[in-house]
């Protein structure tokens, strides 16, 4: 059971929110909550990355436990499953607070099994827990148009949906704890296949002597159209490989997806190929580039990448 049932405040009332993680997406997402009038307590590994939020009135806390002390919500969006574990289950994590938050929401793309364990530990402390990974990249984070895939109990979902609505446009409860992460794995599998096709399509256009920007006018609105084609293909053509979502983090997601697929008895060869290609990109030093940096690995000028055999 979660603490005292439903929402700790109405949708128009300010909440005390602990926010952990101010990366490419997290900083923008937190800024929408500040704009909505919520009171933020921010904890990150590098204080300077939270400075813009602090300048707007957020309060700095040195640990997740300090930020979460007596808060209505504790929200995290960090890098890796081990970061999620430390932020919430570690000795200075949110659930180590003397007065833990009423609910925690982890918006990191992480392991479904970890989401289930986090929910179990939280429940033992009377705390509601939701896994709520997001899709939409840096653009969706800035524009508050993210798709948010949620796992957890309905009572907790209904209570926090007004807060999630400040950051996203499509907010769907997928089922019990861990199901939000499973839904995000579906999302990442789809993106992996799309990104390979996008990069190879642009390679073909270049080799065939086509003007890639002109080709995009036709294909981006046809049956091949996708978010990635509309938002990332133009960045590739500009030579802009700054991350909306980093290759090293995406590779982490693909590895989780393959682990889950193996556990479910699934053979997903396209996903396995995508993982190998992104491992090559990582080995080439492209880990801090956006996922569309795969174009560099596949050879923007027609070169070939060396893809290891499975």
Residue 184: active-site member: yes
CB atoms within 10 A of CB 80: 16
Closest CA to 200 of 67, 57, 300, 74: 300
CB atoms within 10 A of CB 7: 20
In sequence order, what are the residues at sequence separation of 6 or more whose Cβ sits closer than 8 angstroms to the Cβ of residue 40?
17, 18, 19, 30, 33, 34, 53, 57, 58, 59
Closest CA to 192 of 125, 106, 262, 278: 278
Pair 297, 290: CB distance under 8 Å: no
Each as own residue / partner, the long-range contacts of residues 299-304 (CB below 8 Å, 24 or more positions apart, any chain) are: 299/203, 300/202, 300/203, 300/206, 300/236, 301/206, 302/203, 302/206, 302/207
Question: CA–CA separation, 127 vs 88, rounded Å?
Answer: 12
Residue found under tokens 């890796």:
80
Question: CA–CA separation, 93 vs 84, rounded Å?
Answer: 9
Sign of the dihedral defined by the CA atoms of residues 45, 47, 53, 59, in that order: positive
Pair 37, 14: CB distance under 8 Å: yes
Q: Beta partners for 289?
A: none
Q: Catalytic pick from 32, 38, 179, 184?
A: 184
Full 3-state SS string of 187-215: HHHHHHHHHHHHHHHHHHHHHCCCCHHHH
Which residues form the catalytic set? 184
């Amino acid at each position: 059971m979660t603490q005292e049932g439903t929402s700790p405040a109405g949708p128009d009332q300010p909440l005390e929110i602990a926010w952990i993680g101010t990366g490419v997406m997290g900083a923008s997402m937190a800024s929408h909550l500040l704009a909505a009038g919520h009171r933020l307590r921010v904890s990150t590994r590098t204080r300077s990355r939270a400075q813009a939020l602090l300048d707007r009135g957020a309060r700095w806390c040195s640990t997740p436990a300090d930020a979460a002390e007596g808060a209505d919500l504790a929200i995290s969006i960090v890098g890796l499953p081990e970061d999620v574990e430390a932020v919430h289950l570690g000795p200075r994590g949110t659930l180590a607070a003397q007065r833990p938050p009423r609910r925690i929401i982890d918006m990191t793309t992480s392991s479904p099994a970890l989401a289930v364990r986090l929910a179990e530990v939280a429940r033992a402390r009377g705390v509601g827990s939701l896994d709520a990974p997001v899709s939409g990249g840096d653009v969706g984070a800035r524009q508050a148009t993210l798709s948010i895939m949620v796992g957890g109990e309905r009572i907790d979902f209904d209570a926090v949906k007004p807060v999630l609505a400040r950051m996203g446009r499509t907010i769907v409860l997928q089922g019990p704890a861990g199901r939000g992460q499973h839904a995000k794995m579906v999302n990442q599998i789809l993106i992996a296949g799309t990104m390979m096709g996008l990069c190879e399509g642009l390679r073909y256009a270049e080799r065939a002597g086509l003007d890639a920007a002109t080709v995009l006018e036709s294909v981006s609105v046809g049956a091949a159209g996708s978010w990635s084609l509309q938002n990332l293909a133009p960045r590739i053509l500009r030579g802009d490989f700054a991350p909306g979502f980093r290759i090293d983090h995406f590779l982490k997601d693909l590895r989780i997806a393959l682990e889950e697929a193996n556990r479910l008895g699934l053979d997903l060869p396209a996903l396995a190929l995508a993982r190998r290609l992104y491992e090559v990109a990582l080995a080439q030093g492209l880990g801090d580039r956006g996922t569309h940096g795969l174009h560099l690995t596949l050879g923007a000028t027609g070169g070939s990448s060396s893809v290891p055999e499975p």
